[in-house]
Amino acid sequence: MDETHQVRILDLHSKAPLIDLHADTFSSARRTTNFLDGWPKKHLDLPRMFDCGLWAEAFSLFVYPRWGGGQSSRWLEVANRELANIELAVEASDGRFAIARNSAEILQNKENGSVSAIIEIEGLHSLGGDLELIDSFFERGVRIFTLTWNNSNEWATSCMDSKAQTVGLTADGRTAVERIDKLGGLIDFSHSGERTFWDAMEIITRPPICTHSCCSSLKDSPRNLTDEQISAIIDKAGIIGINFYPGFLSSKETEHVTAADIVNHIEHILSFDGEENVGLGSDFDGIRYLPADMSDCTGLSNVTREMINRGFPENRILKILGSNFLRVFS
């Protein structure tokens, strides 16, 4: 990367509310000091967030169904532990790390010299169908609710379910979506089956989001969004965070997938007049491989460089890097 590009990228990252919409860094982790002091085995830690200019990261409370001995009765315990770890990291950070419940808090945290943690729960199976737990997690700062992971649950059908096209929200699932929406939470459709998507879109009044998804027109995958879904999200003023996983970005061999493929998906959403509706949703620490020119979160600069190389105007780049999410998270 030449010096001129590097200077411009650093300038953009200083201006942009650089926000990534999905990371699994705290999933299953038991020690928070690693995140605060440096965690080389992970894609993300606090020192590198400061290094690359990340203002905020959406950290998931993810429970793999096989954890807890595969016992659903223990999933809630894991989710609570992950949230407690984030809370402990905030307490031990000497003001460098703070939870953000809305855009105003992201901006205030930045003013105070803090990086923000946005908290999302990925897959509502850990709640075991208990509506009261939605309120409990919301009170503790969770603001993004991903309806499913790759497994269906009591409330919704996953994109990986054989019935994803025909079975969506259950009756209780509709009640859960209404409750989240009324509380002020955002419904995240990443991992949702298509019928679940359309069922919930009829209910929500707040902008829909997909924190870490790509476009099926560029790479066919149950995890990616159809053009019809993309249009619907744009029509409701929502946002799509582009996932960095090579298998969702391209049919090329993993070692040939680069940040340019991420920008291809960004451009596809732009083709729907989606300049206000696209962002970054890396899936850091939730995917085994990143694009070849990106080893960790500091590689976000390569996405910015590619947008510069393609002639994106500065205002558009700033929207994609984070301003679009600030609007949705207000």
Q: Which of 28-32, 225-229, 277-281 has the lowest mean pLDDT?
A: 28-32
pLDDT band at 2 (very low <50, low <70, confident <90, very high): low
pLDDT for the residue 225: 98
The pLDDT value recorded for residue 5 is 76
Q: Is the pLDDT of residue 72 over 90?
A: no
Three-state secondary-structure class, residue 90? helix
Length of the chain: 330
pLDDT tier for residue 77 given thresholds of 50, 70 and 90: very high
Q: What is the pLDDT of residue 14?
A: 87
Determine the pLDDT at residue 105: 98
Higher pLDDT, 187 or 31: 187
- How does DSSP classify residue 194? H
**H helix or E strand, kind and range, residue 56:** strand 56-62
- Residue 70, pLDDT score: 74
Q: Which CATH code is given to the segment(s) 17-328? A: 3.20.20.140
pLDDT of residue 295: 97
What rounded mean pLDDT belongs to the chain?
A: 95
Mean pLDDT computed over 262-271: 98
pLDDT at 140: 97
For residue 41, give every residue at least 6 positions away whose Cβ sits within 8 Å of its Cβ, in sequence order, or none. Answer: none
The pLDDT value given to residue 7: 84
HSE, side-chain direction, 13 A CA sphere, residue 253: 2
The rounded percent of the chain whose pLDDT value lies above 70 is 98
Residue 320 to residue 71: CA distance in whole angstroms: 40
Write the pLDDT tens digit of every residue in 108-135: 999 999 999 999 999 999 999 999 999 9
Q: What does the pLDDT look like over 142-189, one tens digit per residue? A: 999 999 999 999 999 999 999 999 999 999 999 999 999 999 999 999
Place of tokens 């390569």: 302
pLDDT by residue (tens digit) across 233-245? 999 999 999 999 9
